[in-house]
Amino acid sequence: MNFLQQPPRFLFFTGKGGVGKTSIACAAAVQLADAGKQVLLVSTDPASNVGQVFGLAIGNRIVAVPAVPNLSAMEIDPQAAAQAYRDRIVGPVRGVLPDNVVKGIEEQLSGACTTEIAAFDEFTGLLADDAATRGFDHVLFDTAPTGHTIRLLSLPGAWSGFLEAGQGDASCLGPLAGLDKQRAQYKAAVEALQDGARTRLVLVARGQGATLREAARTHEELAAIGLTRQHLVINGLLPESEAAHDPLAAAVVRRELAALAHLPPALAALPTDHIALKAFNLVGLDALRALLQPEARGATPDAGEPHIALPDAPTLSALVDEIAAQGHGLVMLMGKGGVGKTTLAAAVAVELATRGLPVHLTTSDPAAHLAETLAGELEHLEVSRIDPHAATEAYRAHVMATKGAALDGAGRVLLAEDLRSPCTEEIAVFQAFSRAIREAGRKFVVMDTAPTGHTLLLLDATGAYHRDVARQMAAGSHFTTPMMQLQDPARTKVLIVTLAETTPVLEAAQLQDDLRRAGIEPWAWVVNNSVAAAPVASPLLRRRAEGELKEVEAIRTRHAKRWALVPLLQDEPVGVARLRALAGAQATEAAEPAR
C-alpha cells in the first residue's frame, strides 16, 4: 500500500461516514506493529468498534493490545469529551451571568461543532505533548478532524473578547469562547498537522462519483490550510470477477470503473491505493491482516447460498403518497455527504409532479447535477440551484455593511475573520433557502442538501432573524419565520437519508438528535442503495446483504417513525422513468413524459 510506504510519525485517516476509515486504520496499525514498530491507534469515532475489532475493552485511556505485540490503542468518546468541554466553559458563569445568557451559551454548545472541537481538544495533547506519545514510533488517528475544525482553531486569538462584547455574528465561534488557555496547545497541534515530515493524511473514499467529489472537496479544504501531504485510498471496490454472477454486480463494476476513470482533478495527482470489497466482517486479526492484501483468502463465499430474504419494506413512493395528500409543503432531504440526497430529492420531486402537483426542486450542492439527473423537463416541475459561493459573498457583504458599519477598524477586521468561519456558508445558504421556503404555502418545495442540524441550532440560539421579528411585531400579531416553519410538522417534512451501514446510521441518528435540539422532528428515514432490497446472485453481494439486515432493523425499530428502503439499481437513476423505479413506483403509471 502506497500510504504505508515510509510512513511519518502521525497518520490521519479521514473521510465520510461508512467508507471504512476504522477498518483501514486498524489494519494499518496491525501491519506497522507486525513490522516491529511501536504503534498507538487513537479513535475519535463516536461509533468506534476498535475494541470490538481487537476483542477487548479500550475506552479513554491507552491500553496495550495483547494479541498484537507493539500495538496500543485508545478510544476518545466525543460525547463525553463534549460534555466535559461544556462543563468547563459553562460552569464558571453559572450564577454570575443571567440565566437566559447561560441558556444561550448552553444552546450554542449543544451542536455538532462542539462535539467536533471537543474531540479535537482531547487529542491535540497527543500531537503537542511529547510525554504522552514519546514511546511510540507511529500514532494513527481514526476519524481525523475536518478542515472545518482546524480552520476554526486557527482563527486569531482576539475572537474571544470580540464575541463576549456581542460584536460577532452567528457562526461556529460560539463553542470556542473562553478557550484562550488552550491556544498554545492548539497552535502546536496545527503546526504538527501542517508538517509533511511528521504527518500524512489518508483520504478514504468509495468508488462512487458522489463520494469521490466529497473527498475532492475535503482534499482542497485541508490543502488550503496547509495539510498538503495526502494519500487517497479508494475502498470497497467490487472485484471484477463478481460481474459474471448477475447483472447487478456487473453494473456496479462498470460504474466503479467509470468513476475511477474520471477522478476529480484534485484527486488524480494524489498517490492512490485500491482496496477490494470484502464479503466478511472486518473483526479479528485474520480479517484485518487480509484487508490490505491484494487477494485475501476467503474473500468470496461459496456459491449456492440461499437468497437473502428481506421482509417487505415501504417504498419511497409510499412515503410520497402521504406527503402528496397535503397538496403543498416543504420537503427537506438531509444527511451526510455521499448518501444520495440529490438523487432522492429528484425522485421525490418527480413523484409529486407526476401526480399533477406543482413542485419546486432546489439544491445548494455544488456537485449536484439535477439537470443531468432529470434528463429533461417534466410538467409541474421547476428546478433551481443556489450558488453557495455567491450566497456567502452576499451574506458577508450584508453583515459588514450593517453590523460592521458601527465597528472601528480592528473590530471590522475581526468581524471579517469571523465571517470566514466555515459555518458562514451554511448560514448564508439557509437564508437563500428561506426565500424558497415561502413558496411552500402554495406548492411543494423539495430541498436537497439542507442545512445541518447544528446550523439550524445556531440560528435558533443566536436568534438573529427569528427574535428580531418577534420583537418587532405588535402583541397579538401573527407571524411566521423560516425557523418556525421548519419546526411545524404540518408545514415541513424532513427526510433523513442514510445507507444501511453502521457509521452512516449512527451519523444519521446524531443528525436527528441535532434537529430535535433545534425543535425540528424528522418525519421519516430513507435507506438508500440497499443491496438487501435488490435481487442478487453474486456470492459477495449476498453476504453484504446479510450485513445490512441488522442496520435496517435498527432503523425500523429504534430510530424512525416512518421509513423507506431504496434498492441498489443496475442502471444509474437518470431520467424520469428510472427515478420513479428508484422510488418503487411503476414508471408507466400516471407518468408525464419527459421532453
Catalytic residue set = 18, 20-23, 45, 503
Helix-helix angle 409-418:388-402, to 10 degrees: 160
Contact 200, 251 (CB under 8 A): no
Residues 6+ apart with CB under 8 A from 98: none
Q: Report the amino acid identity of residue 145.
A: P
- Whole-angstrom Cα distance, residue 214 to residue 365? 11
CA distances from 257 to 204, 209, 247, 460, 567 (A): 17, 11, 15, 45, 21
- Whole-angstrom Cα distance, residue 517 to residue 382? 32
Helix (H, G, I), strand (E, B) or coil at 281: coil
Contact 267, 187 (CB under 8 A): no
Residues 6+ apart with CB under 8 A from 18: 338, 499, 501, 502, 503, 504
Among 233, 50, 228, CA closest to 150: 228
- Whole-angstrom Cα distance, residue 343 to residue 566? 11
Tell me whether residue 561 is exposed, middle or buried, using C-beta atoms within 10 angstroms of its C-beta: 0 to 12, 13 to 18, 19 or more: exposed
Helix (H) or strand (E) holding 141: strand 138-142
DSSP 207-270: SSHHHHHHHHHHHHHHHHTT---EEEEEEEEPPGGGGGT-HHHHHHHHHHHHHHHT--HHHHTS
Dihedral (C-alpha) 214, 110, 344, 48: value to the nearest 10 degrees?
A: 60
Show the cell assigned to 145: 478532524
Helix (H, G, I), strand (E, B) or coil at 301: coil
Pinpoint the alpha helices (H) of 367-473: 370-374, 388-402, 409-418, 423-437, 453-462, 464-472
- Whole-angstrom Cα distance, residue 75 to residue 62? 8
